Amino acid sequence: MHERADRLAGNFVTVDEDLAREFEARLVESSTLAFRVAFSVLRQREDAEDVAQEAFAKAYRSFRQLRERDRFRAWLVRMTWRMALDRQRANRRRLAREAVDDVVEAGLQTRLEKTADPAIAQERADQLWRAIDALPEKLRLVIVLAGIQGHDIHEVALLLDVPDGTVKSRLFIARKQLRERLSWMANDIASR
């Protein structure tokens, strides 16, 4: 009787250990992805890490349904994106209350192409972020995911659970809109 109970408990422990091992592997390979998705929305390292951490905690709670690698990453991206948007809205409300408009910009840390003048690079980064933020959400997510870790169209399609063709067309429209907005912003600056 005790032997059977021990064996049964042993099986549960094995299942526990397997799950923990698998989750650890997913965490290691997807931590940067989750962070960057959150960062693309929030532009603040601390906030992005908080949101990505919460997304992993949620993923852990339902990890049995998310053991498959692709499924896990897709779920994680969508969850992190939604949570980051929620956080961004909350931040905006808070900032509006505090009337400190430049906090987000002050926390911005990005690695831009090396330029002679950091101020110009910063200005260019701000323009690009503003242009990305102005995109509709579906286009925005596609352009961000395509820009993270060099994802190709198929990888983005897997992450969003949509056909490759959909990603391709969204990417095309997003880039076109971005180019137009950036040109418009550049002309605006030049005309000043």
> In 10 A of CB 108, how many CB atoms?
13
> In 10 A of CB 178, how many CB atoms?
18
User: Does 175 help bind another protein (rule: CB under 8 A)?
Assistant: yes
Contact 114, 125 (CB under 8 A): no
Contact 80, 57 (CB under 8 A): no
User: Does 183 help bind another protein (rule: CB under 8 A)?
Assistant: yes
Contact 156, 138 (CB under 8 A): no
Q: Which of 79, 148, 158, 160 binds another protein (CB under 8 A)?
A: 148
Length of the chain: 192
User: Does 5 help bind another protein (rule: CB under 8 A)?
Assistant: no
> In 10 A of CB 57, how many CB atoms?
9
Residues numbered 61-80 forming contacts with another protein, rule: CB under 8 A: 61-64
First and final C-alpha spacing in the chain: 86
For 28, the 3-state DSSP assignment is: helix
Task: Name the token pair of 151.
Answer: 């994802």
Q: Min. distance of Cβ 93 from another protein in angstroms?
A: 25
Q: Which of 79, 135, 141, 144 binds another protein (CB under 8 A)?
A: 144
Of the pair 95, 121, the CB lying nearest another protein is at 121
Residues numbered 11-40 forming contacts with another protein, rule: CB under 8 A: 12, 15-16, 19, 23-24, 27-28, 31-32, 35-36, 39-40
Chain contacts with another protein (rule: CB under 8 A): 12, 15-16, 19, 23-24, 27-28, 31-32, 35-36, 39-40, 45, 48-49, 52-54, 56-57, 60-64, 109-113, 115-117, 120-121, 124-125, 128-129, 132, 143-144, 146-148, 150, 175, 178-179, 182-183, 186-187, 189-190
